[in-house]
Structure formats: C-alpha cells, structure tokens
Structure 1
C-alpha cells in the first residue's frame, strides 16, 4: 500500500497545541497555570511533542545502551538483580534468612559488615558464583575487604566467579565522621590491590544515595557526588594510578525517590554523565557496561500509615527499572519504624519479581527510549549538572566546599524547605499530612529534627518535622 490514511490529516505542531491551550484557558496565563517546576527549577511542560527532541542528539545517542547482552541463550534482553539486604546480627540465623531469600526470588546479596563476622556461618550453603554480592562496610572498609577476600581464598573460590561491589564512598564518609583526607589515597590503593584479581568486583562507589537521603535535590545529588568522585580521580591519578582502572572499578550507587518521571530521567542522566566524564579522562567504557546499584528511598518513607510505603516502593522500583538500573534493593515498607519482619521483607523482594515476571518489564531493553518528556528532562538535568560542576570547580573543588561547609549548608537549606512544605501542607503526602488513618491521628512519634554539627550531613526523612510536631493534623 502506497497511500497512507494519515495523509488526510493536517500536521499539528506543538505551537498549534499551545495556541489551543491558551484559547481554552480564556485569558489565564499559560505558564502560571500549566507549567510546573522541579526543585532545581527545571520547567515541566503540560505536554511534549516531537519538536522537544530537537538538539538532544547527545541523549538520543545513549538510547538502548542499558545493559550488556547476556551470554546465556533464552534470557530476556533486560536484566537487573534483585538484592536482599542483611545487617548482620547473628550469623547462623541470618544465614537461614539469606538462604530463604535466595530460594524465593532474590539473586543478589548486600551484607552490612564490620569486619569481625564469621563468614563461614553467614554464607554457609550460598553459591557466590551464581549470584552478585555487595558489601557495605560499617566502619573500616579495609577490614571488611580483607575479611571477605581471605574467606574467598580459604574456600577456594575463584576470582573470576565473584561479581558485585564494595559500596563505600570515601568522600561521603567525610560528611558523617571526620578523618584525614590524606589517608584516602593509601586506603584506595590498598582496596584496589586487594580486589585486583577480581575483575567482576567493583571497588569504588559514587554514593549519590547519600545526598538523596540527606534531602538534596536531583541536581545537587548528581553534582556533589560527581564532584567528590572527580576529587578522588584527580588525587589517585596524581599518585600514579591509571584512570581506566579506576573507572572500570567504579559502581554508581543511587537511591530512587517518589518523583516518578524525574527519577527515571535521573538514572538515565547518571549513566550519560559517568560516560562523558570518562571521556574527559581518556577512558571510553561502553555505556551498557556502567553498573548502577539502586535502592528505594529512605527519605521518601513515612512512619504514618506504613502500608502506603509499599506503593512508594512500587513506583520507585519502576523508576529504577525504566531508568536502567543494574541491581535493585527494595527496602521493607515498615523499615522506617524498625518493625520489618519476614512478611515485609518478602513483600519488598516480590515487587521486583512481579514487575519482571508479571509486568514483563524485562522484555524490552529500553522501553522509554525516545519519550519526548523523559529525553527532554534527562537533557535538562544534564545541562544543570554541568553548570553546577563548573561552579564547584571554580570554587576549588569538592574538598574546598566541604571544608568551608558550603555543601552542607546548601543541602540542608533544600532539605529544610522540603520538610517544611510537608509540615505546612503545601505539598500533599498521602497517609502523612493528607488522608491519614483515623486510628493513627493521635500516635506519638519520638522523632526529632536532626542534631548535626556544621560539617556534618546526615540522612533524614521528608516527614521528620511532621513527626516531631505536637499539632498533627489529618
């Protein structure tokens, strides 16, 4: 057929749609009525059209480069691992919980370790060759790394069979506990040496999640975490390390909030940003090889009507998958109250399974590629992050801003504004300041505002002021 039925319809441009919207508004201001803004001031249009993709060649060049093709025949084109997290308390009982999770949907582990644990008991019966394993040090990263590698050697586990990452960001740790910066080079080199034989195990982490859970905006999150990584890169390369070795040993660690489309765009921007940064250092890692570890946000969760957190977990998980995550940790919905149990942990891991097995989100490599809205949002985020990084460099780099507390003040200002908007009801949060269950109206929460020193930046929650308020209103 040579004739197209669409030829009978007149072409409609975005300007035509805007004119029609203005006409329907009957004198009301288009920008004021229909255009909203993100925390960073990025304009969100009421609709997007093909014209919005003009000039976005950089973003379009990264479409469908989300994960490497599997070498195993029959696997779907889109893959992400379903991570189960364990804060070790009793190795033997934790082991039973780990085995149960791995037998019921999880295929990756995140272990929070201090470095004194009995890994023989903790990982008994766990086939590390068949899963991914992530380590999050509670304190001394070197101690944890040595414990883990010594255990691998003792159990004759081959380096090529171990895949995962050490989730430890040297610079993010400086915002929690003071330590000499000059020790970073020595410790980073030791970590790199310890894990050198383990080609599939990442050593360096860019901890975007740290800034997210402290209340930062998207642009702050990407800019400050990347700025810290640039400081690390410059310090390590000046001491003789190879930039390529550092990049290929780096994992991107992020938390996913409830701003659905913005979070999808954030992950897509994150991959592009890391790849472009590599090119500046003469390193060309394939975009699909960039590993992104995502976790659902603790900032977005509320102790009021905790079941609502399951819905937040679901949309956050969808954002992570559509954005191109490589590994995904869904936190239990009642973790915010310290009441997580076998039910909530099962619900958490099943969200990822349902989206894979029943919603078929693994059947298309990059389902949002070409979206007028998301591609535009990704580009705007990248543009603002670039400007912010240039500003950081002009002011002396991340370390200089850390020492004069500029980073801390800037993030705390945004955090306070976001928390006040919840307290005052300017932003609706279902189950917290809007439609809260009657039986929870009089519930007393002991939560208080964070007690931070000026140099510190700690994790918080969007509802923290509401939790500590004596005048809770439904």
Structure 2
C-alpha cells in the first residue's frame, strides 16, 4: 500500500479558519456564534488545532509514562437463587468474560453460586450490604467492605470525579459511564490523571453502562459509551442487559475487543485536540471545586 503523504494538505492556522468561518457566517464573529456547551455544561469553542495543545504538554508527559493495561470484560449477576446464579456465572465466563461481579444479600448462597468456578483464572468481586467472611475467598474482592468505592450515579463528570477524590483511597472504583462519547473518553482520562497526581494511580477503574428507558437505545449506548470508556482507560467494564439476554450485551464487549483490536493500550486518544482540551477543562473544573 502506498504511504500517505499528508504534506500535500495545506496548513491552516486558527486565524485562517476564523476568516473563512466569518465569511460563511456572513460577517458574524465565529468566536461568539460557534461557542457551545456540551451535555455537562462545559463551555467549548467551535474549532481547535495544534496551537491549543501548547499549554497541555503536562497531559502528554503524564500519559506517556503510564503503563498499558489489558481492559477486562465483567458481567454483573444478582444472586437470589444459587442454581440460576451459577448458570449465569458459568455462561458469562464461557462467553468471554474475564470475571463477574456478584450482587448478593445472602452469603449462604455464595458457595452454590460459585460451583465449578475456578477462581484462579477469573476475577470474582462481590457487592453486598451483609458482612461476608473473607476466609476462603482468596483472590476475591469484597465490596464495599474496605476495597471498593461505589460512586453515586451522576450526569456531571466534575461531580463524579469530586466524589472519587474526596472518598477514601479504595482499590476498586465503581462508576457509571456518560452517554456523550467524547465526554466519557475525557472523563476517564481526567480521572486517571487526577488519581495519579494524588498517588492513587493503582486504583482499578470499573465502569458500568447505566440502564436506558429504551431497549433499542440501550444497544447503541452500550456500544458507544462502552467504546468511549475503554478508549479513556477504564480497567474493566460491564454492559447493561436491555432485553433479558446478557449474551447480546456480553458480545458487545467481545466485538469491541476482537474486531477493533483495542486490547492493550496506554492512551489512544492522546493528541486529539478536542479531547485534550476537554480533559484539561474537566481536570481544572475538579481542582477549582477542591480549593
């Protein structure tokens, strides 16, 4: 395949773009006309280019030093009947999941639910309001008994990140994704940077896709929000089931991993003008609130 020569495209400066935009807007100042706010009410410009990255080198410096990681596909299983839960867990693991998150109220059901599950080759995490004796549960993460920070569902990335940073330093951060594709990428990147700056760079960021009122919309939300969360740097993710068949949601993750090749990475969206600026705005917004 012939290599692309990108030098054949003319270099366009910010001033040149503004002049062209002003002409097309019939004399209206594009700085005023094209400014907008995203779903998180963050103010943004209509155009970004290389010049906007001049003061954002700190992001490149940080992410260039972050080790790549393989993101994991999890599935959440509610344990009410141990036989049914066991069936769901085995189906999830055989269907490509790296692990499961068990939502369980009765600890007596745990052994039956995990029958024939090899805990040495998969991740098992537990969400429970009841005390669970960790004896015999080596390799399993008990939530929220000292290991997990459950972040309240929110539509505002700055509020979400504030909740994480103000919370205790936990190994496992359980957060919701945002439906805005670029906002989700930038939010996870901002979270990774802020955790690293706070000396919490080893925290595991787990993202789940919130349930949408429309089942049809949920399929698209799983794909777009899931991909965005992965591109941003989540360590694990689970996809919400919309129609009672977790296989479809599970395979969304499998397709993203196998078809896109996005498996191990450091910061694939680094250098994107808009995403870098949006990441910076979220970081500054969080720091302003922390003062």
Normalised by the size of structure 1, how large is the TM-score? 0.56
Where does structure 1 differ by over 6 angstroms across 4 or more consecutive aligned residues? Answer: 5-9
Aligned to 2:153: 211
Aligned position for 2:12: 12
- Kindly indicate whether the alpha-carbon contact (under 8 Å) linking 1:83 and 1:328 is maintained by their aligned counterparts in 2: yes
Which structure is higher in strand share?
Answer: 2
Quote the residue 1:346 is aligned against.
247
Structure 1 residue 106: Cα displacement? 1.0
Q: Is this contact kept in 2: 1:91–1:117, CA < 8 A? A: no
Relative to structure 2, which stretch is displaced further, 90-99 or 42-51? Answer: 42-51
Aligned to 2:210: 297
1:150 maps to which residue?
135
Q: 2:120 aligns with which of 129, 146, 156?
A: 129
Partner of 1:88: 79
For residues 387-402 of structure 1, what are the structure 2 equivalents within 5 Å?
387-390=288-291
Q: Select the residue among 241, 255, 258 that pairs with 2:176.
A: 255
Q: Match of 2:284?
A: 383
1:83-130 deviation line (CA, Å, top 9, x unaligned): 111111110121122112111111111001224333221101111111
Return the alpha-carbon distance in structure 2 between the equivalents of residues 40 and 307 of structure 1.
24
RMSD: 2.3
In structure 1, distance between residues paired with 2:85 and 2:8? 66
Q: Could you give the per-residue CA deviations for residues 216-242 of structure 1, whole angstroms, max 9, x where no partner exists?
A: 411122123422x1xx4xxxxxxxxxx
Where does structure 2 lack aligned partners over 5 or more consecutive residues?
A: none
1:361 aligns with 2:270: no
**C-alpha displacement at 1:268, in angstroms?**
0.5
Q: What is the 5 A alignment of 1:44-55? A: 44-55=44-55
Tell me if 1:322 matches 2:231: yes
What secondary structure sits across from 1:62 in the alignment? helix
- The match for 1:270 is 191
3-state SS of paired residue (1:318): helix
Larger radius of gyration: 1
Cα separation, 1, equivalents of 2:180 and 2:120: 36
- Please tell me whether the aligned partners of residues 71 and 264 of structure 2 are also in contact (alpha carbons under 8 angstroms): no
Paired with 1:220 and 1:37, the residues of 2 have a C-alpha distance of 17
In structure 1, distance between residues paired with 2:93 and 2:205: 21
For residues 84 and 321 of structure 1, what CA distance do their matches in structure 2 show? 15
- From 78, 99, 108, the equivalent of 2:90 is 99
In structure 2, distance between residues paired with 1:330 and 1:9: 41
Alpha carbons 2:70, 2:265 under 8 Å: kept: no
Query: Per-residue displacement from partner, 1:400-429 (whole Å, max 9, x unpaired)?
Result: xxxxxxxxxxxxxxxxxxxxxxxxxxxxxx
TM-score (norm 2): 0.89
Which digits, 9 at most, give the CA deviation of each residue in 1:337-395, with x for residues without a partner? Answer: xxx2xxx20011111100111121226442212111111110000001111122xxxxx
SS at match of 1:357: helix
Counterpart Cα distance in 1 of 2:12 and 2:54: 16
Trace 1:43-82 onto structure 2 (pairs within 5 A).
43-64=43-64, 68=68, 78-82=69-73
Partner of 1:239: none
The answer to whether the 8 Å contact 2:63/2:266 transfers is no
Question: Which whole-Å CA distance do the structure 2 matches of 1:315 and 1:39 have between them?
Answer: 16
Q: 1:369 to 1:9 in 2, by over 3 A?
A: closer
Structure 1: runs of 5 or more not aligned: 69-77, 153-158, 169-190, 193-202, 233-246, 279-284, 335-339, 391-474
Q: Is the 8 A contact 1:257 1:263 kept in 2?
A: yes
Return the alpha-carbon distance in structure 2 between the equivalents of residues 225 and 93 of structure 1.
34
Change (3 A) 1:328 1:67: farther
| 8 Å CA contact 1:95, 1:122 repeated in 2 | yes
1:34–1:45 contact (8 Å) kept in structure 2: yes
